[in-house]
Structure formats: structure tokens, C-alpha cells
Amino acid sequence: MKSNHWIEFVTLFIYNKVFFSFLFFIISFHTSYSQQIEKVDFIDVKATVQPIFAEKKVKATASYTFKILKKCDSIYLDAPNIYLLNTKNFNSQIKIVSKNKKIWLFADFKVNKTYKICFSYEAIPKKALYFFKNQIWTQGQGKYTSNWLPSINDMNDKIEFNISYIIPSEKKIVANGILKSVTKNEKFSTWEYKMTKPISSYLVAFAVGDFSKKIIKSKTNTLIELYYPTNDSLHFEPTYRFSGEIFNFLESEIGFKYPWVNYKQVPLHDFMYAGMENTTATFFSDNFIVDSTGFNDRNYINVNAHELAHQWFGNLVTEKSGSDHWLHEGFASYYALLAEKEIFGEDNYYWKLYQSSEQLRSLSEEGKGEALNDPGASSITFYEKGAWALHILREKVGDEVFKKGIKNYLFKYQFQNVKIKDFLIEIELVYGMNLNDFENDWINQTKFQYEQVYKSLMKSKFMRDYLNLLSLRPRSISSKTFDFEKALSSSNVFLGQEVVYQLQNESISQTLPFYKKAFQTNNIHIRQAIAMSMNKIPTELKTDYESLLDDKSYLTQEIALGNLCANFYGDRLSYLNKIDTVIGFRDKNIRQVWLFMALITEDYKQEKKDLYANELKQYSSSIYGYAVREKAFEFIDYLSLWDHETIYNLINASQHHYWRFRASSREILNKLLKIDTYKKQIILLSDTMDDKNQSFLSKLMKEN
């Protein structure tokens, strides 16, 4: 079924304020214990890396220091699509050869001896390094840093990376570690970054762009650099709201000082995950850039805390293999929940736990439960079940034991790799008893332990009230008047929302007073529940419903505009006039829906129709983020606004690095290829395109 995209957004939003949390990916690692790790320990890398915008490639010189652990005659660095240019050895005994996606080092290597090599190379990365008009950024996890910097795909070899970057002088760069120096020249500048501690290769990262920054200091004097697009300073505060609080909270909650020299965060164009915890330099999707209104629906807080928690859980102490992935994602998700609890309160914490428990319970009942030590488990297992496991463990052993155990674990295994068992042993040592039951129920078991979960949820008064209210769903409105009154008078938004959902599809004569009261709570989330659940607007509620257009929520405004125009046909012009200057979220949700409505409303501003159509078409261009473009394509398709330029943009989008966007674009392109007139246009256009686009299109046409 093809539905308007914004309606899909609605269903996603309905239970989840942080929309983008679903973007977290299943990134599991099947790290095999290669022979390599037993033979050699890479100690440090010193490199000078120059990314070249125009050619989408990297030129670099890198030197490596390594210690031989076992006598051998060859070792390697992972290096796909990397071409050796020059090999000037410190040790002429070592032969350097590029073969089979690796750089091989051949010599008669002696145990306990330290060696050094140096070479220059060119890399044309197919992934892990992405070039855009104004930005370049990397993504190491799941993609492999070795695509642009010869390194080790295995997380078990931690290396000290000291990298200098040569970039155009008008740009800024964010990278791991501390910025030692910047040498400016007219065209290019060299930025020297330094790490003082070893990290796994997947955590090496850099991002080049037009950034500005503000610096704050944590209670323990760590410098926190918050970057933003230079032309977007107005959104700085709501985007980074609570960043200092989150940092201070996590540091004191974890009880172990932030382990790195500094912390940086930077929002990036077309970043394909919600966030990535590169050591000292978290990258996140610029879809999280919001103003104060957008903050209410889609804020960065959960991702902010999640990526920061990884700086301890994942970056400082790293899994040995994919079976230990809980130690990364479960921990980051759990500590993000705790940070949100600190900001939004305990009810919010239980609400989120409850929601994930419902999902996990139904998966488990369908026989789709997964064990936390299954390296192939899905993201819901690693993230949500993982967080639940820690919540249950903490209840079992108590706050004090839990916190002491966490501290000991981090202290003992810092800068090392661990297994789940190593963590459990540290808790057991403080607890004084074994955790066999916990391990069986929560780590080894595929079944979700709902009885334990239910017992835990029942400790919250809010959850007891909520589940009680939920149990009233089948009953008549008249029999639950008292409960509804009470819920709508409470300060808890989730209870109010539940009342609103129970009013759905009931007769207006019975529900009117409750709807009135729900509107009057002036709580944007309760009012949003009305916007989401009411399709047919009774005339008695017309004025109240119209007031939703003024709510500080772009989601509410978007739904309300659509519903009002559909319900009160005669008033469409005034609704359109009311929000004709609102843009909405980063994906321009309101503006695009508005343009769409303005175009389909025949008697609305005839003289400006071309202007509106052109604006909508423009949003399909690659200068905009994928979220803007995805919406634009839907509307363009719906309105059949296809022309050379928009089709070109669609072909380009169908090869995008972000698979979700690529898939939705391809679906539309495939559809167009089945329509003769468009097919002809596409073939014509194909003649004017470069080889890469042409071969993509000819392949696609064969499939169709």
C-alpha cells in the first residue's frame, strides 16, 4: 500500500518522541580470531591524510610501529581499494606488497622486536569515507576504516592514531584526539590531531565541513566542543540542549572519569545513522538539528547520551567478538535511558522500558526472541533487551553493588577487550554471590523474561495507574468517567494520551467533555494524541482543533493542517494562509506538505502555482538532505511533476549511500520505468550522463 509518508511518520511518532532512535542499526561483528592478532601488536600509526574533494579520493603517507609477538615471515594491514605509491622503509629488510585487499609486510620477523615501516598511498574508498559538495566524513563501524587508512578490521588490536589532515583552508575539520597545531597556507592547511591512548580502528574518524563551535566545560574540566553548521547558529541551543547536564550526569553515574582528552560532537549532512561514537568525536545526523518547536518532537537527547556512554562502553572497554556486543549497545542504551530519566523524570523512564518490553514480549511470544550473546541478533535485542538486562541486574544486586561493579570493570579492563563473562565476574565479586540465574535468563536465553519485567514495572506507581487505565479499554465511556477525569487532571502525559486514544470511535455526545478537557490541558503531547487519533473532526470541536495549528509541535501542525483541510473544505484557504511561512523540521515537513496542499487547492493563489511547483521540485536536489528529498520525491510523484531535472535527481538518489533512501528512490524509479513516456525521457537523459550513471541505468532497465 502506498501511503503519504507523513502519515507513516505519525504512527512512528505516536509512541516515540525520539523518532530517529529507530535508525540505529544492526551492527554486529563476527570478529574471528585471526592468526594475525597472535603474531603482531600494532602500536601506533602516524599519518598525513589529504582528502581530495574533486576526485573523491585520499592521498596519504603513513608510518606504523608494531611489535612482533610470535616469530613469523608475514603480517598484514587491511587495505581494500588502496594503491601503494611509494615505500620508503626504515627497515629495508621488510618487503611491502599490496595484494588481496591487504598490504602485506614480508620479513624474517623476530619475537619481541619492534619494527617501523612507512609508505604513501592513494585510496579511492567505496565506503567508510563519503564526499559531498561541502562535507567529507567517515564512518568506520560496519564499514571499515581500512577503506581510507590501512588499519586492522579486527577490534582486538588497539592502536594509537596520530593523524594530520590537509584540507582546503576555508574548511574546518573534526577528528579524534587533541588538536596540536594548525598550519595555514593560502589554499590548504594542515591540522595535526593527536591521540594519547590506543583505540580500535573502527573508531578512527574525521569530518570536514563549514563548521563553527561553542565550547563548554564539564564539572571535571573536560572540554566539550559542540559543532554546528556555520550558517545555522540559531538552532544551536535547542539542538544541544542539556548536553552539559548529560555529560556531568553520565560521568557521575558511571563513577569513572571520562577517559579521553576531550569530547566533540558534530552534526553531518546525510549521515546514515542516528549517531556514531568515534572516540572523542561523536558524529550525528543533522536531522537532529532542531529549533525550540522541533525539540518537542525530535530531540537529540537520547542519541547524545547514547553516543557519549559508548566513550566508556565500547571505546574504552571493547568487545572481544560479536557475542559480546551487549557490552556496547545494551550499556549505551541503558545509560541513555538513565540520562533521560534525569532530564524528563522517572515516569518517562518507565514508559520507555514499558514500550520496549511490549515489543520484546510479542517477538518472544512469536518465537522470535533472541539471546543477548547471539552475534547475529537484531538491534532491538542488543539495544532494548540489552538495556532491560541491565535494569534487571541493577534491581537484583542493588545500586551500590551495581555501581561499584561497573567502576571495577571499567578500571580493570580499560583500553582492553572483554567478554560478557568478564563483566559478570566483576559484578559477582562485589555482589558476593554468583549470577548464574541472571546469566541464564538474560544472556543465554532467547525467551524474554516477562514475569520479571512485569514485576519490575509494577514498582512504578505511574505504571500501575497506566496499566489500570489500559485495562478499561473494552468498557463503555460512561463507566469510566471517574478514571478519565482523574487521568486528565494528573500531570502525567501518558495517562492523558491513553484517555484520548480510548475516546476514538466513540460517539461525540459522550466524548465531547473529555476532548474539551484534553484540549484544555494545554499539554502539547496530549493535544498531539488528539491530532493523531481523530480523523473526522466533529463541528463541536472545530475551534479547538484549529488551535492545534498554533501548537509548538511541527508534527501536530502537519497532521492538523491535513486533517482540517480534509474536514472543512471551505476553510482551506485560511488554513493555508495561516502557516504559509512555517518550514518545520530539518526535512521541511510543514513547508512541503503546505506546497503540496497549495498546489492541489485549485482556487489558491493561481498566479503562484509555478513558483510552488518549482520550489517542491528543487527539494529533490542533492544539495538537500535525504530526508528533505525523500518527501519531495513522494509529492513530485503524486503530482506527476517529473521533468528532466527531477528525474536526474531521482536517478542520483537511487544510488545514494544510505540504503533506506536508496531503496525508496529506486522503487519510484522502477515505477517510472514501467511508464512509456517516462521511460523514453530516462533513456534520453541517460545519453547525457556519465559512465557510472549510464551503467547503473542500463542495469536497472534490464531488470525491469
Q: Decide: 470 and 483 in contact? Cβ < 8 Å.
A: no
Work out how close the CB of 22 gets to Zn ion at its nearest, in angstroms, rounded to a whole number.
13
Work out how close the CB of 241 gets to Zn ion at its nearest, in angstroms, rounded to a whole number.
21
List all residues 6 or more positions away from 218 whose beta carbon is below 8 Å from its beta carbon: 224, 244, 247, 248, 251, 258
Work out how close the CB of 306 gets to Zn ion at its nearest, in angstroms, rounded to a whole number.
5
- Which residues in 458-487 contact Zn ion (CB under 5 A)? none
Residue number of the CB closest to Zn ion reads 332
List all residues 6 or more positions away from 689 whose beta carbon is below 8 Å from its beta carbon: 648, 651, 697
C-alpha span between 97 and 484 (Å, rounded): 74
Half-sphere CA count of 142, side-chain side, radius 13 A? 11
Work out how close the CB of 417 gets to Zn ion at its nearest, in angstroms, rounded to a whole number.
17
Question: Which lies closer to Zn ion via its Cβ, residue 286 or residue 329?
Answer: 329
Question: Which lies closer to Zn ion via its Cβ, residue 301 or residue 493?
Answer: 301
Question: Which lies closer to Zn ion via its Cβ, residue 291 or residue 329?
Answer: 329
Name the residue among 328, 384, 313, 380 with its Cα closest to residue 352.
384
Q: Which residue has the cell 492545534?
A: 548
Strands 199-200 and 188-194: unpaired
Work out how close the CB of 691 gets to Zn ion at its nearest, in angstroms, rounded to a whole number.
38
Question: Which lies closer to Zn ion via its Cβ, residue 314 or residue 625?
Answer: 314
Question: Which lies closer to Zn ion via its Cβ, residue 372 or residue 488?
Answer: 372
| Torsion, CA 572, CA 578, CA 581, CA 586, rounded to 10 | -80
Question: Which lies closer to Zn ion via its Cβ, residue 202 or residue 585?
Answer: 202
C-alpha span between 254 and 256 (Å, rounded): 6
| H or E element in which residue 194 lies | strand 188-194
Work out how close the CB of 29 gets to Zn ion at its nearest, in angstroms, rounded to a whole number.
13
Question: Which lies closer to Zn ion via its Cβ, residue 199 or residue 332?
Answer: 332
- Contacts of 45-48 spanning 24+ positions with Cβ under 8 A: 45/149, 45/151, 45/159, 45/160, 45/161, 45/162, 45/163, 46/162, 46/163, 47/149, 47/161, 47/162, 47/163, 47/164, 48/163, 48/164, 48/165, 48/166, 48/190
Question: Which lies closer to Zn ion via its Cβ, residue 329 or residue 384?
Answer: 329
Work out how close the CB of 310 gets to Zn ion at its nearest, in angstroms, rounded to a whole number.
6
- Which residues in 298-357 contact Zn ion (CB under 5 A)? 329, 332
Work out how close the CB of 285 gets to Zn ion at its nearest, in angstroms, rounded to a whole number.
13
Q: How many other CB atoms are found less than 10 A from the CB of residue 262?
A: 16
Counts for the chain of helices (H) and strands (E), in that order? 29, 22
Question: Which lies closer to Zn ion via its Cβ, residue 142 or residue 244?
Answer: 142
Applying CB under 5 A, does 548 fall inside the site for Zn ion?
A: no
299 three-state secondary structure: coil
Q: Which residue has the cell 582528552?
A: 261
DSSP letter, residue 384: I
Question: Which lies closer to Zn ion via its Cβ, residue 78 or residue 329?
Answer: 329
**Contacts with Zn ion: how many residues (CB under 5 A)?**
2
C-alpha span between 146 and 137 (Å, rounded): 14
Question: Which lies closer to Zn ion via its Cβ, residue 275 or residue 562?
Answer: 275
Question: Which lies closer to Zn ion via its Cβ, residue 267 or residue 496?
Answer: 267
Phi-psi region of 81 (alpha: psi -120 to 50; beta: other; left: phi over 0): left
Work out how close the CB of 332 gets to Zn ion at its nearest, in angstroms, rounded to a whole number.
4
Work out how close the CB of 361 gets to Zn ion at its nearest, in angstroms, rounded to a whole number.
23
Work out how close the CB of 275 gets to Zn ion at its nearest, in angstroms, rounded to a whole number.
7
Q: Decide: 265 and 227 in contact? Cβ < 8 Å.
A: yes
Q: How many other CB atoms are found less than 10 A from the CB of residue 568?
A: 16
Question: Which lies closer to Zn ion via its Cβ, residue 406 or residue 595?
Answer: 406
C-alpha span between 117 and 252 (Å, rounded): 42
C-alpha cell belonging to residue 150? 590501512
Work out how close the CB of 273 gets to Zn ion at its nearest, in angstroms, rounded to a whole number.
9
Q: What is the 3-state secondary structure (H, E, C) of 118-160?
A: EEEEEECCCCCEEECCCCEEECCCCCCHHHCCCECCCCCCEEE
C-alpha cell belonging to residue 427? 559484578
Work out how close the CB of 130 gets to Zn ion at its nearest, in angstroms, rounded to a whole number.
20
Footprint of Zn ion (CB under 5 A): 329, 332
